A and B are shown apart, each in its own frame.
Chain A
Amino acid sequence: MQATGRLSVSVLGAGLIGMDLATKIMRSDCLDLRLVAGRHDAAELRRAARRGLPVATGGIQSLVDAEEDFDVVFDATNASFHAEHAEKLAASGAMIVDLTPSRVGQMIVPGVNREDIGSHRDISMVTCGGQACVPILHAIARAHEIDCVEVVTTAATLSVGRASRLNLDEYVQTTQDAIRWFTGVEDVKALVNISPARPAATFRVAMYLRGRDLTTDSVRALVTRAADEIRTYVKGFGVSVCTVNDSTAFVSVEVTSSGERLPHYAGNLDIINSAAIQAAECYAAGRLALAGRETA
C-alpha cells in the first residue's frame, strides 16, 4: 500500500476488458493504476501510452520484474494462462482479480458474497453473464424450490474480443458452475450468442427457472430487490421482462454501459469490470481498516 492509502494496481492484458478496466481504475479513489501490461507492442498499448498510462509489453514477466510489488493485479488475458499468471505472482503477495473464466480462484459476485473477498488471494469474477444473473437466481432460489435453471446471454460482436471468442467453452462451464455453486440447483444450462446486428444489440441475459411454487408477485419482488442491489455498482442494469407462466419464471435483463469510453451496448464489459472494481475497492477498504488498526 502506498503512503496515500491507495493500493497499487496493475492490469495484465490490454484488450477490450483490460483497457476498460484501466479507465475504471483511473476513476477510483482507492486504486492507483501503476502498469498496464500486454504481451507485445499492440496498438491498444500505444494508444494507452499516449493517454499517459504506464505500459509494458512483456506480459506477466513485466509484472514480476517491476520495481514495485502490486497490491492488486487484474488478469484480463485468456483463461488458459490464468493459472500460470497466478503462480508467478504468488510470491509477490498480490491479490489477483481474475476476469477470465478460468475457474481457478474463489468466485465473487459482489451483490451476493462480498464478504468472501478478503479471505482469498485469487478471486474469479465469474463471467459477464454470471455477474448479471447470479444475484437474481440466488434471490429466487433462496425463496423457492427450483428444479432447473437456464441462462442465455447475448453480447454484441464488437464487444467480444479474440480472447473471449477463444474462451467460449470456459464461459459456458464457468457460468454453469457459478450458478450451481451460488444457487444449489444442479440442473443448470448456460448458452451464449454473439449478435452481428448493426446497430449493435445491447448486452442481454435471459433466465428461465422452473419450480412449482413460483408466483409472479413473489418473483417480481425478489427480482426488483436484487436489481436494486446490482444497480448500486452497475448503473445501467435494467430488468426488461419478468413473468411466470406454467411453473416457469422468465426474467430478462439488459445492461447498458455507463463507462465514458465504452459504447452504450457493451454492458458485458461494464458489468464484469464494475464488479471487479467493487471487489478491489472492498479489498482496499479492508486493507485500509487493518492498516489503521495497526498504526493505532
Chain B
Amino acid sequence: MSQEAARDAAAGRPVQIHDPTLRDGQHAVRHSLGAEQLRAYLKAADAAAVPVVEVGHGNGLAASSLQVGRARLSDDEMMSIARETLTTSKLGVLMFPGWATTQDIKNALAYEVDLVRIATHCTEASVAERHLGFLRDEGVEAHGILLMTHMASPDQLAEECARLVGYGATGVGILDSSGHFLPSDVTARIGAIRAAVDVPVMFHGHNNLGMAVANSVAAAQAGAGILDACARGFGAGAGNTQLEVLVPVLERLGFRTGIDLYRLLDAADIAGRELMPAPPTIDSVSIVSGLAGVFSGFKKPVLDIAAREGVDPRDVFFELGRRQVVAGQEDLIVEVALALRAARDGGSPAGSGTGSC
C-alpha cells in the first residue's frame, strides 16, 4: 500500500495506546522496580497523555513467586503509587486466572483501577468467565486478552474472543507472547477477530524477530483499536513494541493517538535512564526464543539454568518450543536442561528419573 493509500485507509482513526512499561518491563529487571522508578515514569507518561498505564509484577496481580521471581514492591504498593501519581492517564492492571483470584481483583478495585485485563492462554478463554462476570457486575471496565496466540488459528482466536465478549469483556485482544508473528499472521488474526466481535481489539507485540512495530502497524491497519507499547521497548526478552517509535509511525500513517510527541520522547528518555540498565536488544537467544515460539519472559530463567547445568540455552529454547510450553510453565526449564545434559553425557539425568529420584 502506498503511503497515501495507507493514510486514506487510516483516515484519522483513533488508536488507543496502552502502556504496560511498568508491568511487562519487570521481566527484564527480575521484577525489581522500586517506588521512585515507578513515580518517575508514571509522571512522565501521565504528562504525555498516554491513555492507559499498567503497573504490576510482570505476570500481573499476585504473581510474585518463586516460579517467575518475587517482586520488590507489593501489588498494593505499586497500585497505591500509581493511583497517587496519575492525573489523566487511566490505571490498568493485569490478572491471570489460576495465578490470582477474585480476591486480588477486589483488592485492586480498592485502588480504583480503571481497567482490569484478564489474561488466559490462547484457547482457554473459558477460565476468564467468572472474573469477567464479576467485573461486569461491579461496573468496572474489563478486557479479555489471549496469550501465546501463535499456538492458535485465526478462527480459533476469533471464537475465543467472542466468548470473552459474552462473559462481559468490553475489549479483547491477542498477545504475541513469543515474538513469533510476522505481519501477515497478525493481519489474519486481527481480521478474523474483528469480524467476530464488536468491541475494540488489542494487539501486543514482542520484538524477538524485529517485527514488533511492523506487526503493530499491521494490527492497526487490520482494524485493531488498542495497541500495547512500552517505552524503549522495556519488556521480557527482546522487548516489546517500542512506544516512542510506534506513536509517531501511527501518526504518519494517519492514525490518531492523542499523545504529545515531545513529552512522549521525554518519558522514553526517563524510562531509558531510570528503569533499565540497558534497553532490550535482540540478542541471539531472543531470536531463538522467538523462532521456537516460547514466551519471551523465559529468557532470564533459561539463561540462569542453562549456565548452571552447562547446556546451550538455544537447545533449551528449541526443546521447550517442541513441548509447546506456555507462560507460567517455567518449572519445565530445569527438567529440559537436565534432560539435555543427560542426553549429551549419555547417562540418565542426575536429579531426575521416573519412579524414584
Contacts of B308 in A (CB 8 A): 245
Q: Is the CB of B357 within 8 A of A242?
A: yes
Q: Is A23 in the interface zone, CB < 8 Å from B?
A: no
Contact mask for chain A residues 189-220; partner B; CB cutoff 8 A; 1 contact, 0 none: 10111111110010010101010000010001
Q: Is the CB of B103 within 8 A of A195?
A: no
The residue in chain B whose Cβ has the minimal distance to the Cβ of A192 is B98
User: Interface-forming stretch among A27-35, A63-71, A167-175, A274-282?
Assistant: A167-175
Min CB distance B30 to A, Å, is: 15
Q: Is the CB of A165 within 8 A of B101?
A: no
Q: Is B338 in the interface zone, CB < 8 Å from A?
A: yes
The residue in chain A whose Cβ has the minimal distance to the Cβ of B148 is A196
Q: How far is the CA of A192 from the CA of B338 in the complex (A)?
A: 23
Contacts of B324 in A (CB 8 A): 195-198, 201
Contacts of B276 in A (CB 8 A): none
The residue in chain A whose Cβ has the minimal distance to the Cβ of B102 is A169
Contacts of A166 in B (CB 8 A): 129-130
User: Interface-forming stretch among A88-96, A108-116, A247-255, A265-273?
Assistant: A247-255
Q: Is the CB of A250 within 8 A of B151?
A: no
Q: Is the CB of A241 within 8 A of B323?
A: no
B: number of interface residues (CB 8 Å): 42
User: Interface-forming stretch among B71-79, B227-235, B326-334?
Assistant: B326-334
Q: How far is the CA of A154 from the CA of B124 in the complex (A)?
A: 13
The residue in chain B whose Cβ has the minimal distance to the Cβ of A245 is B308
Known contacts: A169-B103, A243-B334, A250-B334. The answer to whether A193 contacts B328 by CB under 8 A is: yes
A interface, by DSSP: helix, strand, loop or mixed? strand
Q: Is B88 in the interface zone, CB < 8 Å from A?
A: no
Known contacts: A242-B357, A252-B331. The answer to whether A191 contacts B121 by CB under 8 A is: no
The residue in chain B whose Cβ has the minimal distance to the Cβ of A197 is B324
Contact mask for chain B residues 223-241; partner A; CB cutoff 8 A; 1 contact, 0 none: 0000000000000000000
Min CB distance B136 to A, Å, is: 15
Known contacts: A168-B97, A239-B354, A248-B66. The answer to whether A196 contacts B151 by CB under 8 A is: yes
Closest 7 CB pairs of A and B: A206-B331, A197-B324, A242-B357, A238-B354, A169-B101, A192-B98, A243-B351
Sample (20) of A-B pairs whose CB atoms are under 8 Å apart: A157-B123, A165-B127, A165-B130, A191-B67, A191-B98, A194-B98, A195-B325, A196-B121, A196-B124, A196-B324, A197-B151, A197-B324, A197-B325, A224-B356, A228-B356, A238-B354, A240-B352, A241-B338, A243-B338, A245-B308
